[in-house]
Amino acid sequence: MFASFFYTLRKHKVSVSLMEWMTLMEALSKGYAFSSLTNFYYLARAILVKSETHYDQYDVAFKEYFHGIETPEEIANQILDWLQEPIRRLEISPEEIAQLEKMNWEELMKTFEERLREQKERHNGGSRWIGTGGTSPFGHSGRNPAGIRIGGSAWGRSAVQVAAERHFQNYRSDVVLDIRQMQLALKELRQLSRVGPKEELNLRGTIDATCKNAGELEFIWEAQRKNNVKLLLLMDVGGSMDPYAHLCSLLFSAANSATHFKDFKYFYFHNCIYGHLYTDIELREAQSTNQVLKTMDHDYKVILVGDATMSPTELTMVNGAIDYWEMNETPGIVWLKRIADHFKRCTWLNPEPPRNWIHPTVQMIGRLFPMYELTLEGLDQGIKKLVAAS
């Protein structure tokens, strides 16, 4: 019975691990909850919840599970009863663990289906069908490669199937991107060179020099190694990118909070790059692309993020820009070519899965920039490309 509190928590996306659960059991068996529901509330929260951002979910789960239980005496007996229940300390067989994982997955699936059902009722026909929040990993499935939305009732069903498949994959191989993983991936983006005052002792050099000097000490000092990489991030914030907004913001915060870059700059664009780049997501503060190219050195590493999916006219025609006020005299593809030519190292990260890359504009852009999927693996590959010997 108590074990189901574990699942109630997990259902509400509080990621409790078995290890933390065991710790709670240990604390309970030692009587630290003092037979009071309030103490139990704080005790369980301190042990099980590791981020204040999850406190709310914890509260919801707690309320759902314990509602109706008011008096402390009752809870004391119940906790004692629960301690007799199946999950006992240190007695979990591999089969049981397997079972736990399986149930956990089903639990997650159930939540997802519920959410999907809910959303359909509320937002039917809306442009942000599966929102930008926590469910976004599932979100892309509903859209076909050319960016045309399909309506009708059969839609939801297929999205569930595709999403289920994707989610399962991600769960199994553990490649769900979170900000920490992205930070780790971005850490690979470095080229170390020695700059600054010479204050670090080079031990090997000192030994060599001392030996050559017939045993008279000769110290060799050198400067610390610093990362020399400058990063430029260009992100598509067009309408077709809405389902990936969460993913993109993760990448942005990972890059922005990374302290190891010598310089980090970012701009936004809508669908394709023309004469202007924007410093804000609402595309109000513009800078001329020419100016950006003029003022930035060739050695910036460039990561472009976008689905590269648009009407071919937007890419190849004069005045083809989706925003009429852009009035571009130069086709988008030429601007992209200029960027690819100006910077030595560029990579394009596409949040769409590669099976959708048959679209003509994705093909064309893929010939200009090496293109990778915006997953952990794709990010790794793209970064390898960026730091490859230049």
Partner 1 sequence: MDDFDKFQGTNKYIVSEALRNDVNVAIALGRPLLVKGEPGTGKTLLAHNIALGLGKQLIVWNIKSTSKAADGLYVYDTVQRLNDSRFGDKDVSNIRQYIKLGPLGRAFASEEQVVLLIDEVDKADLEFPNDLLNELDEMAFTVIETGDYIAARHRPIVVITSNSEKELPDAFLRRCIFHYIEFPDETMMERIVRVHFPDIESELLQASLKKFYDLRKIEDFRKKPSTSELLDWVQALIVGGIDYTAIEKEIPFISALVKKEQDMDLLVGGRRSKATPNVYRRYY
Residues 6+ apart with CB under 8 A from 75: 35, 36, 37, 40, 66, 69
Q: Which residue number, 127 or 257, has a Cβ lying nearer to partner 1?
A: 257
Q: Are 152 and 144 in contact (CB under 8 A)?
A: no
Q: Which residue number, 257 or 363, has a Cβ lying nearer to partner 1?
A: 257
Q: How far is the CB of 50 from partner 1 (least distance, A)?
A: 4
Q: How far is the CB of 76 from partner 1 (least distance, A)?
A: 14
How many beta carbons lie within 10 A of that of residue 184, not counting itself? 13
Q: How far is the CB of 20 from partner 1 (least distance, A)?
A: 6
Q: Which residue number, 18 or 296, has a Cβ lying nearer to partner 1?
A: 18
Strand partners, 131: none
Q: How far is the CB of 184 from partner 1 (least distance, A)?
A: 6
How far apart CA 193 and CA 383 sit, in angstroms, is 18
Q: How far is the CB of 265 from partner 1 (least distance, A)?
A: 21
Q: What is the largest CA-CA distance in the chain?
A: 86
Q: Which residue number, 30 or 355, has a Cβ lying nearer to partner 1?
A: 30
Q: Which residue number, 102 or 187, has a Cβ lying nearer to partner 1?
A: 187
Q: Are 289 and 273 in contact (CB under 8 A)?
A: yes
Q: Which residue number, 39 or 78, has a Cβ lying nearer to partner 1?
A: 39
Site of interaction with partner 1 (CB under 8 A): 15, 17, 19-20, 23, 26-27, 30-32, 39, 42-43, 46-47, 49-52, 55, 178-180, 183-184, 187, 201, 203, 206, 217, 257, 259
Q: Tell me the DSSP string of 32-93.
A: TTTT-HHHHHHHHHHHH---GGGHHHHHHHHHHHHTT---HHHHHHHHHHHHTSS--TT---
Q: Are 298 and 232 in contact (CB under 8 A)?
A: no
Q: How far is the CB of 46 from partner 1 (least distance, A)?
A: 4
